[in-house]
Amino acid sequence: MPRYKLTLEYDGTPFSGWQRQDNGPSVQESLERAAAALDEAPVTVYGAGRTDSGVHALGQVAHIDLVKDLAPDKVRDALNYHLQPDPVAVLDAEPVPETFHARFSATKRHYLYRMIDRRPPLTLDRGQVWRVPRPLDAGAMHHAAQALLGQHDFTTFRDAQCQADSPVKTLDAISVSRYGEEVQLTCSARSFLHRQVRSMVGSLVEVGVGKWSARDFKAALDAADRSRCGPVAPPDGLYLVAVDYPPEA
């Protein structure tokens, strides 16, 4: 059975998350329905990461095995046809070896979190960005965020329902920058804990509005205590931007 790697973009607003579930529509379910219509047989979709309810993707990766041996462009276009009207798009489809796995072959995941600090409500960006109604000091947020680099016990920024075996993770990169009225946080790691990015963002906003100092933020991280986490940022502004794989994959 030919295996295809899919690069996906989606608006997570109407979905209960990536993973197929009983309490609402999921991105995985939409893709499996589209793939089954294409292949005329049940198809299981495997994703690189399980984005939460309301979280978006610019470059989520998944893989599928089909009975039919089709040209990659045909797979992409047919899936997009059957995905309508769901806000999911297959940007690229490419054949890969049977050893490729969207989740287990991944070496790094890249996330973006978008914030707009303004008092007026959002119109065009509603559901796509977190509106913070107070001025944010992006420089202070960036400075505080550097304490997260490297290997740490991220219990403070780990959701209580997280199923990871260990709270110890290694953050490879994190940056906070301002672009006009928008503040963006980007971060990269091999893997993340459940709601880790949103938890880190929420606490960094406490720094950005002047409630916390960089020392307060580092103390919260070092405490390895979930109760020391600031308010968790909403899913609206979070995007899975890209997933990296080794060349041989």
Report if pTM > 0.75: yes
CA distance 70 to 90: 15
Total domains present in the chain: 2
Q: To 10 degrees, what angle do helices 72-83 and 27-39 make?
A: 120
Please, are residues 8 and 58 in contact by the beta-carbon 8 Å criterion? Answer: no
User: Is residue 22 flagged as an active site residue?
Assistant: no
CA distance 91 to 107: 21
CA angle at 33 for the pair 28 and 38, rounded to the nearest 5°:
125
Residue 103 located in a structural domain: no
- Give the closest residue to 57 by CA, choosing from 238, 245, 199: 238
CATH code where residue 55 lies: 3.30.70.580
Contacts of residue 126, Cβ cutoff 8 Å, sequence gap at least 6: none
CA distance 70 to 93: 11
Tokens representing residue 79 in the block: 């899936």
Tokens representing residue 67 in the block: 């009975």
First to last CA, the chain: 17
Residue 249 located in a structural domain: no
- Give the closest residue to 4 by CA, choosing from 114, 82, 92: 92
Q: Sort 41 into a burial class: Cβ within 10 Å, 0-12 / 13-18 / 19+.
A: exposed
Catalytic residue (choose from 39, 52, 86, 236): 52
Same domain, 16 and 75: yes
Same domain, 240 and 146: yes
Please, are residues 229 and 159 in contact by the beta-carbon 8 Å criterion? Answer: no
- CB-based burial, 175-189: b 16+ in 10 Å, e otherwise: ebebeeebbbbebbb
Q: Which amino acid is at 236?
A: D
CATH code where residue 163 lies: 3.30.70.660
Tens-digit pLDDT string for the chain (249 aa): 899 999 999 999 999 999 998 888 999 999 999 999 999 999 999 999 999 999 999 999 999 999 999 999 999 999 999 999 999 999 999 999 999 999 999 999 999 999 999 999 999 999 999 999 999 999 999 999 999 999 999 999 999 888 889 999 999 999 999 999 999 999 999 999 999 999 999 999 999 999 999 999 999 999 999 999 999 999 999 999 999 999 877
Tokens representing residue 38 in the block: 């294409």
**Residue ranges making up the domain that contains 35:** 3-96
pLDDT at 147: 98
Residue 102 located in a structural domain: no
Same domain, 120 and 207: yes
Say whether the peptide bond before residue 72 is cis (omega within 30 degrees of 0). no
Same domain, 75 and 133: no
CA distance 182 to 18: 26
Contacts of residue 237, Cβ cutoff 8 Å, sequence gap at least 6: 113, 114, 115, 128, 129, 130, 201
